[in-house]
Chain A
């Protein structure tokens, strides 16, 4: 009977699923996952901020670009005549929407925040202004309009707000560069954390590595065994951080839209215009999660290979 039992296909036929060659628990787990999650969160946050500022700057730029101002020095006595002529030239130009001549009182209103309402502006050489709204930016030739105004109306200047727009663009670029800089630093910190964690995992699994080496596993196989753990760890940590950042973006948008009218929300609206992180922000966050997972895996692979190469030389 015993022989029959021995001959039977026994438990090994339903052999349990093979264990990982590098034990998962020996690879720095929770602490590194947390580090990767924090790094991913910070990286996504900076990407979101970059997207927010960049979208806001575009919106500001678009608003300003849809309006230009004609300034006419007010010291000459025939200024009213020149204003009418300038307005006529502007109206005749292609792509122009409305042309509004601003009175001296309107100019005073604009200056009121700085000079106060009681100030007597009649003695000041405040230029007269004509607001020109642009209907179709593609058709407008501002350079030609400016030349024509300067040629036909002495003292007339076309201000296309380029100085202001240039400053906005410069600020937006600085913010984007800053955000990208932070992103690079965060990714570098992630890489370094993974390098240290991989080295620790290799040191903790020295016996496993030695046995694999002796049975001819090859560097690539050994690196692959470690890489698999770190890819999963990077994906998990990256996803936690990325999701937390996306949640924060959503809450931020919700706070501004729900709290509209309150001073805090108005302040945010005044600062960044559109209060929501756009699709580009979410896509960037998703990209960062994947990038961090790939970086984590690739870094661990390279660290293992370097470790093995050094071990072979010693």
Chain B
């Protein structure tokens, strides 16, 4: 056997890998039927497959529920609402393709999504160019609404058609920092996954934690998809932190917590809403008791305003749980539906003016949603700044403190 030129062998492999990574989209659409003469579409971009699909499917079902209810009640007179969810696989590139596809649909007026801030960043412009309103139930990356220079106080809203019903990392990170510091942890190490969400959340956390007087002993990054964290943990351990703050999502946070405890770094791991999921506890194992997470809003199950949503969701018989963002997705969909009810009454077709009217109507939203009062500030951020700290207690997330920031 002779050695062939390695480059000749390796090139097609690399090219092939890129092609594979770029391809693939799973279409699924949950249609609904109703009585209106004309059809208007609400789209969704969320991870319906892949490691984050638990969150994405909860979002999808909740919007589906809102659309079905609106059609049954005839909320938008003369129109039937159709729901078209698309799978962004939590990947910014796939998100770009989803946005191109959805924004070219002539009777689509609104998008609920995305889950990931990094994906939203890729999609915002496509929708904004077509005056399609986009409301995220989950994006917490600050620059999505306040521009890239928000940290230096120079806040500019990049896209007028983008709104969110979740609060931002500018609130969530500091909220966590304050909670940790007041609970007696004065030294933390931070780890983040370098995505828009994780890095932003960590930066906001560190800023507030230092302001409170705390010390950040180590600042580490990992890659999404990593599983072996022994190197990072060994590096952090000698700095003796009282907790590790993780900016990222549960597929990495779970194993990180488990490996921390196995390597003798026996301190709580704290994260944002990205780790607030039952799967985190499954992955982190029995020693995750004491780990902490913040999440936007008050616990869905505990909200009096969400009781009906929870009942309706159960009654509709969806296979998956509504998950962390279900109630927010439901509210986001209803905001769009309300805006359509005002803007589309008497109209028979969707044009740029109709879409602009919907964007304007969303901006004026003032309604009681299942997650609380819903309205937006001049950046498109929610005015509902309620957050909750959850702690893993005997193998389940239990709310320990709900507060406004």
A and B: bona fide binding partners: no
